Structure 1
Amino acid sequence: MSPRREPVGRRDRPAKAPLSRAGAVAVALRIMQEEGLERVTMRRLATELDTGPASLYVYVANVAELHGAIFDELLAGLPLPARGDRWRADLVALLTAYTEMLFAHPGLARSLVTLRPSGPNYVRLIDTLLGLLHEGGVPVAQAAWGVDLLLQHGTATAAEQGTRDETAGAASEQFALTEAVREAAAHDHPNIARAREELFSGTGPQRLAWMFDALISGIASTPITGDDHD
């Protein structure tokens, strides 16, 4: 027979760590990494922190803000290039690292499609991107608009790819598309016939880097027109 356990009084319990925004975000990040973003709810977070959901709203206004805070915490680990003469290669590498980071967290990428982050690490990322474009001689207005385009494209790419990776039947859909293109008759689809072998060529990283390189070239060479920029 096991010995009887005496009840632990409130005074004898280990003291809880004081609540803080940083502590709440750290726990939310751990839950996401272990179980996925869909499990990061205010109620689950409150349980992990041994408090009530209402107490968390002092530090995080809502789930959207919590997602933004998690994202900003991840950005702290994103390597930012030092200033130098490899601005274009550094810019492509940074954007690729950003997108690949979100590949690992597709739920967060989907949330970011409509979220407007504003954390300090995100602001630092924007400043770094603007600095690299400036080093490449891109006019300020084009760089300012271009940063939005580059980040949107990286986020959307990660959201789409991550969603497909989680979708049952995605591989068979891709196979069906590949077969349809390969079997398309040349006399009915002459343009596909001309590019047939190239449509599915290249690795994922190669295509991702080319995508950003193409966007950068367009940003650098496309002036902004309008009453405020003529």
Structure 2
Amino acid sequence: MSQRRAPVSRRDRPAKPPLSRDGVIAVALRVMREEGLERVTMRRLASELDTGPASLYVYIRNTAELHGALLDELLADLEQPGDFSVEGWRGRLVDLSCAYTVLLLGYPSLARSVLTLRPSGPRYLRLIDMMLGLLHAGGVPARQAAWGVDILLQHATATAAEQGTRKQAIEAAGEEEDLAAAIREVKPSAYPNIDRVRDELLSGTGEQRVRWAFAALVDGLSSTAASEVSAENA
């Protein structure tokens, strides 16, 4: 006669920590940093938290909200300008825009998702507020500043999304070298304008180009009145 195994009480198991929005986001952030955004699914988070996927929707409405929350968590590491005085406002705004771009470059999948979102977390709103503060310090009119912030954020996000994806493709196929070789070998008679600036087309580091782009955008939005554009299109 076999001996009956003694039952084990469920109460002997460690109690599960209570679910919370902060807890869900913390786990999602860890998974994204370790394995990439593609691995951040409700099923995976539920497994990590020892619960069912349906229970997570009490705290996170959908994937878009989760991605917005992840962006807001990353923004905790964004260096703030601190100084909103008139002197040097352009440089500080370029620095802030570049810092946001670099932050997103580490998470190109999240950057692609953010392109289709309208983030509204407190730290993202703080980023908008800082940009507006620097533009105000530079005397940029309200409408130009408001429209300009949208352009700066969009450019930063698109750059991170494109560069991150492009880097992966280049590493796999060597496309950057193919383009550089094609530019170097163009015939002046066929492509006179490329020939004229071929060295400049291949010049500059990625950081230099990103900083130049933001400087050009800031100079443009500070000098182009929104009312002038509206009048031209009327």
- For the aligned pair, the TM-score class normalised by the smaller chain equals over 0.9
CA contact (8 A) 1:110 1:159 kept: yes
CA contact (8 A) 2:102 2:160 kept: yes
Q: How far is the alpha carbon of 1:187 from its aligned partner?
A: 2.1
- Structure number having the greater helix percentage: 2
Q: Does 1:210 align with 2:212?
A: yes
Partner of 2:28: 28
Partner of 1:165: 167
Q: 1:119 aligns with which of 110, 117, 121?
A: 121
Aligned length: 224
Partner of 1:82: 82
Q: 1:130 aligns with which of 129, 132, 136?
A: 132
Q: How far is the alpha carbon of 1:170 from its aligned partner?
A: 5.5
Counterpart amino acid of residue 28 in structure 2: A
Structure 1 unaligned spans of 5+: none
Q: How far is the alpha carbon of 1:108 from its aligned partner?
A: 0.4
Q: How far is the alpha carbon of 1:11 from its aligned partner?
A: 1.1
Partner of 1:94: 96
TM-score normalised by the chain length of structure 2: 0.91
Q: How far is the alpha carbon of 1:185 from its aligned partner?
A: 1.1
SS in 2 for 1:167: helix
Counterpart amino acid of residue 218 in structure 2: I
Q: 1:182 aligns with which of 160, 184, 192?
A: 184
Whole-Å separation in 2 of the counterparts to 1:49 and 1:119:
24
Change (3 A) 1:18 1:40: same
Structure 2 unaligned spans of 5+: none
Q: How far is the alpha carbon of 1:171 from its aligned partner?
A: 5.1
- 1:78-97 CA distance string (max 9 Å, x none): 01111232211111111111
Whole-Å separation in 1 of the counterparts to 2:117 and 2:6:
50
- Percent identity for Structure 1 against Structure 2: 64
CA contact (8 A) 1:164 1:170 kept: no
Q: How far is the alpha carbon of 1:189 from its aligned partner?
A: 1.7
Whole-Å separation in 2 of the counterparts to 1:169 and 1:18:
43
CA contact (8 A) 2:169 2:175 kept: no
SS in 1 for 2:174: helix
SS in 1 for 2:133: helix
Partner of 1:63: 63
Counterpart amino acid of residue 12 in structure 1: D
Q: How far is the alpha carbon of 1:12 from its aligned partner?
A: 1.5
Whole-Å separation in 2 of the counterparts to 1:205 and 1:7:
64
CA contact (8 A) 2:170 2:176 kept: no
Whole-Å separation in 2 of the counterparts to 1:97 and 1:171:
29
SS in 2 for 1:198: helix
Q: How far is the alpha carbon of 1:169 from its aligned partner?
A: 6.0
Whole-Å separation in 2 of the counterparts to 1:90 and 1:36:
31
SS in 2 for 1:76: helix
SS in 2 for 1:109: helix
Counterpart amino acid of residue 134 in structure 1: H
TM-score normalised by the chain length of structure 1: 0.92
C-alpha root-mean-square deviation of aligned residues, in Å?
A: 1.7
